């Protein structure tokens, strides 16, 4: 057959080998500084951070809410926080906004923070340990 541009493995196409989720999380988290619950609480209280809860409804109903946190389920996050987007939340005022993404245990929020970085929200971070760490720290939950 023809010898030119085969589609077989190792053909020099520049494709990256697959990466496991643990390595992906490590790479993502190396790109920004994560935040601990107490620091996130203090930043939100001072008006220096927007807490964004991306947990799904069943977890919010089971475990409660962080007072003042914006609830945006994960599948809507980019649309709601893009300051240029037509579906943005009122709180999504600027690319310089400091966003702290909170999931249940601090895994999905890391990938979400990376996605926000790709939208230009370079101060986006996530909460180490997620909502469970917040609650375990004795911080407010309603």
Each residue's pLDDT tens digit, 8-54? 444 556 788 899 999 999 999 999 999 999 999 999 999 999 999 99
Confidence of residue 1 (pLDDT cuts 50, 70, 90): very low
pLDDT beyond 50 at 92: yes
Q: Could you give the CA distance from residue 70 to residue 48 in angstroms, rounded to a whole number?
A: 14
* Residue 39 structure tokens: 């620091």
What CA–CA distance (Å, rounded) separates 31 from 89?
A: 26
Sequence-ordered alpha helix ranges (H) in the chain: 21-29, 37-45, 57-63, 77-81, 108-118, 130-136
């Amino acid at each position: 057959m023809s010898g030119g541009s085969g589609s077989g493995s190792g053909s020099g196409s520049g494709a990256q080998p697959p990466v496991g989720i643990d390595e992906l999380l490590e790479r993502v988290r190396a790109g920004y500084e994560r935040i601990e619950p107490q620091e996130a609480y203090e930043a939100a209280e001072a008006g220096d951070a927007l807490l964004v809860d991306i947990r799904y409804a069943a977890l919010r109903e089971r475990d409660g809410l962080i007072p003042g946190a914006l609830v945006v389920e994960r599948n809507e996050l980019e649309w709601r926080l893009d300051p240029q987007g037509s579906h943005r939340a009122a709180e999504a005022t600027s690319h310089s906004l400091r966003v702290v993404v909170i999931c249940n245990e601090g895994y999905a929020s890391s990938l979400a923070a990376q996605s926000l970085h790709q939208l230009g929200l370079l101060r986006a971070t996530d909460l180490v340990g997620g909502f469970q760490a917040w609650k375990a720290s004795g911080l407010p939950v309603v």
